[in-house]
Chain A
Amino acid sequence: MKFFAVNGTRPIRLSEETRKFAFESLNHKYGKDTWNTPAVSMDDYDNFESLTPLQKYDAMIAKISSTAPIRICEGEKISGAATLGIAIRHTIPATFNGDTLYSSISHLTIDFETVLKKGVNFIQKQAEEALKKYKGTEKEMFIQSCLHCIGCIRTWHNRYLQQLENKSQYKANYENLKNVPFEPAKNFYEAVQSIWFTFAFVRLCGNWPGIGRIDWLLGDYLEKDLADGTLTLDEAREILAHFFIKGCEWIRGEECGSGDAQHYQNIVLGGIDEDGKDTTNQVTYLVLDILEELGISDFPTTVRINKNTDNKLLKRVAEVIRLGGGVIAVYNEDLIIESLVEYGYGLKDARKFANDGCWEVQIPGKTFFMYIPFDSLQILQGETLANYNNDISFTDFKALYDKFIRDLKSTVENLITTRNTNSFICTGVPTRDWNWKPNIPCTVVSLFEQGCIEKGASYLEGGPIYNIFSPHIGGLPDTANSLYAIKKLVFDEQKVSFSELMNILKNNWEGYEQLRQYALNKYAYFGNDNDEVDMIAKNIINDFSDICDNASSYSAYNTPAGISTFGRQLEWSPHRMATPYGKKAHDILSGNFSPTPGTDKEGATAIIKSYCKADLKRTVSGAALDIKLLPSAVNGENGIEAIISLITGFVALGGHFMQLDIADAELLKEAQLHPENYQNLSVRVSGWNARFVTLNKEWQDMIIAQTGNEF
């Protein structure tokens, strides 16, 4: 059993049985099993068609909880499993006449705090109270559905208890599951089971919730057990490892290998609590131990770092990052909390932040979250420059920039007031006091979102305390680079006239290779710590954030700005024309707020500096930076120090979210095939350095052969 590492070897701390369980889970054993039972069928339900959507939903959840296969894995320490395959497709796994009916919910982190500390019975009491309040109103149906779904959890829970009770080797599991998640957890083991069972049920019903601040949730339980002497740290690690291993039960090896984090089961570690106290505890380190040993990348994990973060934690984080696989990212907690407070969140809630499925900041258990992605480069090319129509001309850079911002504004406003929102959650042009449109039922997640039961409204119908609809700008570095290249080529150096350039770009640089090379190589673009272009990016972000903040005043939800592509640069590429900075039509350009491939030539510190020049407090939803490092860059003791320095520099300079990844020889081979994308890739041996792409094939092969040992 070997758990893959790009760099170095993974330590062994867990028992042989647990490691075997992990190995099998990561190698699709349970994912394949899940796919054998895709969904329950509603065909035998009398008059199913005549039911209202909510009644249908309730019937589906009932059927799922009473008939979904029960799975108890050999030797598992905690129980509960999402065994219906269609859930892996973000759909409620129940069919009628062969078709599924409702999509499900993701991009939220549910309220595990209430589950752990007060129990599902408490939520039931809340619902019973609400029922009194809403009796006879149109909200009664929703509250009834809540009570019904809690009943379904109980049904499913009883089925597990029965199975466990009959098997002597699972006596501990049985005892441990008996009270939770209905009653408050009494110790660490129960707490892990409580979170897992709730998570598994929500997933069983098709949803993809995040987990959030697992160390903060579990820390006190562990400290107490350790103090009482009822649990050892090693035992706790084993229990917690089973949580992570069971979380791999959807890996099927077909659509996504274990490297993909497709189901948004995000985790946030470290950081301060609502009173400003550091929450880092033994659980934080246990999670890092487990990720380090098993290399599980299915729980996208982000550590909240602030200016006072302990060096011990930084070092552990760096050690895990160095193994590669992109398992751990970092947040700059100082900036994010400030950003949330400036946006209007209360300080206590702001300090509780976690995220949705990826890295978009939200307050867990209180937030409806959705984002609207769009491509700023297509706005520049299609609107501002009218698809490079040669009639288009601007007298100076400012006129060009201002027109772009006007186009950006109308696009964003259009997205918010009509298109997406209209079809999705509201009727008509939304106003501050609109009525939420009845939406697809989603009672199960609504149980675990504060505000829903109190307001008698579901997660999709304005129930949660915070309702976020975040416009996400994509292609931002490409847009800034394009504007900068026009500024240099046309206005500053007058290499070409505006209309000539439009013509050249329309023809995809055909016949102008020399000028294209000039544009590509002679200017330092975003990611090289060049103020001139970095300020263009910064200004766009400020203007974009103003537009978004303004939109909140005429919509029922809040519309904080964010920067992302999440890989959309691939699907956008067929629609993109040549860029003024030398890229050809349909090239794959920048991801998230990272430099365009091939344009960053100064290394990781310069990338971080370019990124941090923007006022990232304004992008309340988030702005992600991805950096790839060669294993050779982070070898040895100094490698750990280097990673720590990148992280602390990123925090000191005002970054938001950063994913450091360690890439291997495969990357060098890729660079050999596509040198244009890897201009900055330096290869280093003590005292010697060269840019990889400047070497001929023979030299390159030699270095590839060396990667992983000498480097």
Chain B
Amino acid sequence: MRVADIQRFCMRDGPGIRTTVFLKGCPLRCAWCHNPETQSNKRELLYYETKCIGCGACGVCNQNAHEFSDYHTIQRDLCIGCGKCVTECPTGALEIIGKDYTIQELLKIIEKDRAFYGKNGGVTLSGGEPFMQSEEAFLLLEQCKKKGIHTAVETCGYFSSDILSRAVPATDLFLWDIKDTDSQRHKDYTGVSNERIINNLILADSLGAKTRIRCILINGLNSKEQHYKNVAGIVSRLKYCEGVEFIPYHSYGGAKTVALGEIYLGSDKWIPSKGQIDEAKKYLQNKGITVL
């Protein structure tokens, strides 16, 4: 599987202590993306300027992608993601995002923290969109379940509904994103419309999928009562939903966009106020929906 990062000791991606595997590749292109390095399924070079000591060791690049004139620049279009410069860079200023692991290798890493998972903790596949690599994702989830490790998947919900018959039994908990309930806005800001996502969610529920709904809250875009109302409407149709979690937009994803050598499209204006977050939570709570 193509992996962006693996993090142990995660407390935010489902119950208990978890190991989260961030997978590469996503069908959406959200303007507010918090993990832009997971969007493309290609191997990409990240460059952290603050860590660079200007030693020039990365000059080993066969493509001559690293240039040192007044300061260190990278010609991204020349880079083929071979990772040679990363091996040479002594400080960790360069990093290749996108390493390929076999299922067995991933299982071994996931098993490392077994002693800390307890009954509730376990593995979370995140991303990116884990089901972009659905066949391997199934295998990994099924293997984990077999070993008694709790499985969670954070998904954008945008995939062919065919996969659900296998995804649902393999996944103990879905962290399901509903980014916007306004179809046009969804299309404008993520590149795809939301019908498929919502239909999949309802279908998954009918197959018995346990879900927690994750809603990003973006000031000026979806911080609207109509949106909350729509969310409440969707959730009320779900039998196995544990509740809704609001994720306030933050612009930290921008740091990684810059490290990728790209221009960040997000805006600080999008950060919702505490009042807005409370308002959204309250709206759902008043409708009798659990807010996580």
Contact = CB atoms under 8 A, between A and B. Distances in A.
A563 interface: no
Contact of A642 (B7, B11, B126): B11
Given A686-B245, A687-B13, A695-B255, A515 B8 contact: no
B186 to A, nearest CB: 18
Interface string A176-208: 000000000000000000000000000000000
B8 A606 contact: yes
A232 interface: no
B51 A694 contact: yes
A282 to B, nearest CB: 27
Given A684-B10, A686-B12, A696-B255, A513 B53 contact: yes
B53 to A, nearest CB: 7
A15 to B, nearest CB: 34
B261 interface: no
Contacts of A642: 11, 16-17
Contact of B117 (A603, A604, A645, A696): A645
Contact of A605 (B5, B8, B214, B274): B8
Contacts of A638: 11-12, 15-16
A645 B15 contact: no
A699 interface: yes
Interface in B40-95: 48-51, 53, 55, 57, 90-92
Contacts of B115: 609, 648-649, 652-653
Interface string A603-645: 1111011000000000000000000000001100011011011
A277 interface: no
A515 B7 CA distance: 28
A594 to B, nearest CB: 16
A518 B90 contact: yes
Contacts, number: 131
B9 A604 contact: yes
Nearest to A696: B50
Given A513-B55, A522-B90, A605-B17, A685 B8 contact: no
Interface string B123-137: 000100000000000
A534 B228 CA distance: 51
A641 B34 contact: no
A693 B51 CA distance: 8
A682 B7 contact: yes
B8 A684 contact: no
Contact of B49 (A513, A649, A696): A696
B192 to A, nearest CB: 19
B116 interface: yes
A634 B90 contact: no
Contact of B91 (A521, A604, A634, A645): A521
Nearest to B14: A638
B95 to A, nearest CB: 9
Contacts of B126: 687
Contacts of A47: none
A517 B91 contact: yes
B113 interface: yes
B248 interface: yes
Contact of B116 (A602, A605, A634, A682): A605
A32 B9 CA distance: 45
A689 B252 CA distance: 9
B90 A690 contact: no
Contacts of A709: 274
B109 to A, nearest CB: 10
Taking each of B5, B48, B92, which has the highest tally of chain A beta carbons within 10 Å of its own beta carbon? B92
B118 interface: yes
B214 A703 contact: no
Interface in A499-546: 513-518, 520-522, 529
A341 interface: no
A641 B115 CA distance: 14
B11 A517 contact: no
B256 interface: yes
Interface string A673-711: 001000000101111111001111001001100000110
A690 B16 contact: no
A606 B13 contact: no
Contacts of B34: 685, 687-688
Contacts of A690: 252, 255-256
A692 to B, nearest CB: 11
B7 A603 contact: yes
Interface in B246-262: 247-248, 250-256, 259
Contacts of A513: 53, 55
Contact of A602 (B8, B48, B118): B8
Taking each of A602, A684, A687, A690, which has the highest tally of chain B beta carbons within 10 Å of its own beta carbon? A687
A641 B250 contact: no
Nearest to A648: B118
A625 B259 CA distance: 35
B143 interface: no
Given A514-B90, A518-B90, A686-B214, A633 B113 contact: no
B284 to A, nearest CB: 17
A652 B34 CA distance: 36
A687 B247 contact: yes
B112 A609 contact: yes
A602 B116 CA distance: 14
A603 B9 contact: yes
Taking each of B11, B53, B118, B274, which has the highest tally of chain A beta carbons within 10 Å of its own beta carbon? B11
A646 interface: yes
Contacts of A689: 5, 7, 10
Interface in B223-279: 245, 247-248, 250-256, 259, 274
B90 A699 contact: no
A648 B13 CA distance: 20
A648 B251 CA distance: 36
A342 B53 CA distance: 52
B118 A645 contact: yes
A687 B50 contact: no
Nearest to B113: A605
A513 B245 CA distance: 47
B35 interface: yes
B168 to A, nearest CB: 22
Contacts of A699: 252, 254-255
Nearest to B256: A690
B247 to A, nearest CB: 5
Given A522-B90, A604-B9, A695-B50, A710 B247 contact: no
A515 B10 CA distance: 33
A649 B113 CA distance: 9
A645 B255 CA distance: 32
B247 A514 contact: no
Contacts of A646: 17, 116
A401 B229 CA distance: 68
Nearest to A522: B90
A702 B268 CA distance: 11
Nearest to A699: B255
Given A638-B16, A694-B48, A633 B53 contact: no
A653 B35 CA distance: 34
B250 A688 contact: yes
Contact of A529 (B5, B50, B112, B250): B112
B154 interface: yes
A437 B9 CA distance: 53
A633 B35 CA distance: 19
B98 interface: no
B53 A645 contact: no
A547 B274 CA distance: 60
B172 to A, nearest CB: 15
14 contacts: A514-B53, A514-B57, A605-B17, A638-B11, A644-B118, A649-B113, A687-B34, A687-B126, A689-B5, A690-B252, A695-B50, A696-B49, A699-B254, A703-B252
Given A513-B55, A687-B126, 13 more contacts: A513-B53, A603-B9, A609-B113, A638-B12, A641-B121, A649-B115, A649-B118, A684-B12, A686-B214, A686-B245, A694-B255, A703-B252, A710-B250
